[in-house]
Amino acid sequence: MSSHAHEIRLTVNGEEVRESVEARKTLVEFLREDLGLTGSHIGCEHGVCGACTVLLDGVIVRGCLTLAVQCDGSSVDTIEGVADSGAIADLQLAFAARNALQCGFCTPGMLLTAAHLLDAGGVPSREKIRAQLSGNYCRCTGYHAIVDAIDSVARARMGR
């Protein structure tokens, strides 16, 4: 398979990365298998469940529908990097306080998707929050608590 390998250079969570990857390798497989960043999860491998959500040049993408070779020259941020930066500390606290996660498998994708909505500012309606999450599957919570947690952060950020 070496004939299909490609050299890529990218920034992952602020660190420069140079790796050789097969053309068929998806971004989420690359993050998990080559870089050991297992916070991005694999749930369906066909772009429906949202568990593999990561930031590619600041935009949320499906890690299972993006090939690693496509990310050459790009900047990728995963839940590990975003969590360590403190950028979503209030959102993480709100999820914990509201028990907006049970098994936690969807949580990294949920957090990044919610953060993207919150970055737009304002206090979105519950319907708008639900619409934003409509590509992220959670089997445990029934979503109500997740909506509550995101709503509370939006309100707190407005009051800040």
Interacting residues toward another protein by CB under 8 A = 1, 22, 24-25, 32, 37-46, 48-49, 51, 78-80, 83-84, 92, 95-99, 101-108, 111, 126-127, 129-131, 133-147
**Residue where the block lists tokens 């500390």:** 89
Spatial distance between the Cα atoms of 132 and 26, rounded to a whole number of angstroms: 24
User: Which C-beta is closer to another protein: that of 44 or that of 73?
Assistant: 44
CB of 47 to another protein, least distance (A): 8
Burial 149-159 (b: 16+ CB within 10 A, else e): bbbbbbeeeee
Spatial distance between the Cα atoms of 157 and 123, rounded to a whole number of angstroms: 9
Q: What are the phi and psi torsion angles at 15 (to 5°)?
A: -105, 140
CB of 102 to another protein, least distance (A): 3
User: Which C-beta is closer to another protein: that of 71 or that of 79?
Assistant: 79
User: Which C-beta is closer to another protein: that of 10 or that of 111?
Assistant: 111
CB of 101 to another protein, least distance (A): 6
